[in-house]
Structures are given as C-alpha cells and as structure tokens.
C-alpha cells in the first residue's frame, strides 16, 4: 500500500500543478524555462565555492598526517580515535561523516559506547563549513565575521555534551 502511495505521489503533485496552471491560465512551459534559467545562474554562482570545499575535503580525508596526529592526541584526551575523526569530518562533510559512521558501525556494534556516541554526534552536529560556504557564498558575503568561529564552537560543545550524555547512559 505504501509503495503504491509513494509511486503516485510525485506524478499526482505534477498533475495538480499543471491543472492549477491551466486553471489560472499561466504559460507553464515559459515559466518552467525561466525557472530553469534562474537555477542555472544560481548553480554557476555556487559552483566555485562547492568545488573549493570538495577539494579541501578530499585533501583532508586523504592526508596521512591527520591519522598520525590523531593517534598522538588520543593518548592525552582518552577519546576514541574513530570519534575524533568523525568529530573533525562532521562539520566539513555530511556524506563523509556518514561513511565514517558506517565504518564505526562495522568495526563496533551500534549498541556499544563508541557506536552510540558516534550516532549522537552525527545527530548533534551539522555540516557547518558546507552550510557557511553554500549560504554565504550564494549571496556573495565575503566577510563572515564570527559566524565560522561561533559555529565551530557550537559543534565542539555538541561533541562534549554528547560525550557526557552517552557516558551517563553507559
């Protein structure tokens, strides 16, 4: 039943839009073409920001130096390396953090302390750098003032609070 409903939802929505446009005597095709032109301009204005972000993420993920630094830090702060890596990637890339979360689930059970902590951190944080790059870049803001530092500080607090909450549960 749900499969049938989901298969009919999008075509029904398109049909409703077409019927409404015909009722209001709107030239649907010209409006569609105009909207497509506007979206193409938006994509072109956002593309350099997204390209820079993707390049930075790939450099960061493929760096062996990061792994060595994480191993050194882990001994001092008594925090699982996998969680440190997830915490560092989460503000940068949502899809990369999902891949790391999946690896954590493969290595550890989702019901373990590390699995639960990774899940809570994944839900508590946002892709801060991606959001800032996309939103500020799309409207042309070059000086973001305190937005970056405040957002990253919020991510850090979310990680710390997640650690304490999961520690209480386990």
23 falls within a domain: no
* Burial profile 104-139: b = 16 or more Cβ within 10 angstroms, e = fewer: bbeebeeeebbbbbbbbbbebbebbbbebbeebbee
What confidence tens digit (pLDDT) does each residue in 71-127 have? 676 667 677 777 877 888 888 878 878 888 998 999 898 889 999 999 999 998 888
Mean pLDDT of the chain: 83
Domain count, the chain: 1
Domain boundaries, position 65: 47-169
152 falls within a domain: yes
90 falls within a domain: yes
84 falls within a domain: yes
30 falls within a domain: no
86 falls within a domain: yes
78 falls within a domain: yes
């Amino acid at each position: 039943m749900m499969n049938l409903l989901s298969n009919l939802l999008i075509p029904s929505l398109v049909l409703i839009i077409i019927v409404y446009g015909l009722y209001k005597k709107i030239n649907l095709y010209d409006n569609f073409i105009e909207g497509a032109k506007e979206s193409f301009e938006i994509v072109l204005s956002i593309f350099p920001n997204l390209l820079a972000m993707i390049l930075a993420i790939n450099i960061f993920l493929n760096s062996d130096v990061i792994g060595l630094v994480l191993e050194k830090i882990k001994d001092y702060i008594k925090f699982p390396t996998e969680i440190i890596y997830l915490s560092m990637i989460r503000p940068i890339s949502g899809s990369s953090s999902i891949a790391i979360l999946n690896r954590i689930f493969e290595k550890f059970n989702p019901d373990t302390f590390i699995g639960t902590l990774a899940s809570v951190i994944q839900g508590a944080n946002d892709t801060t750098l991606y959001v800032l790059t996309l939103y500020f870049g799309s409207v042309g803001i070059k000086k973001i003032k305190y937005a970056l530092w405040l957002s990253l500080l919020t991510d850090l607090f979310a990680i710390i609070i997640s650690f304490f909450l999961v520690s209480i549960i386990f």
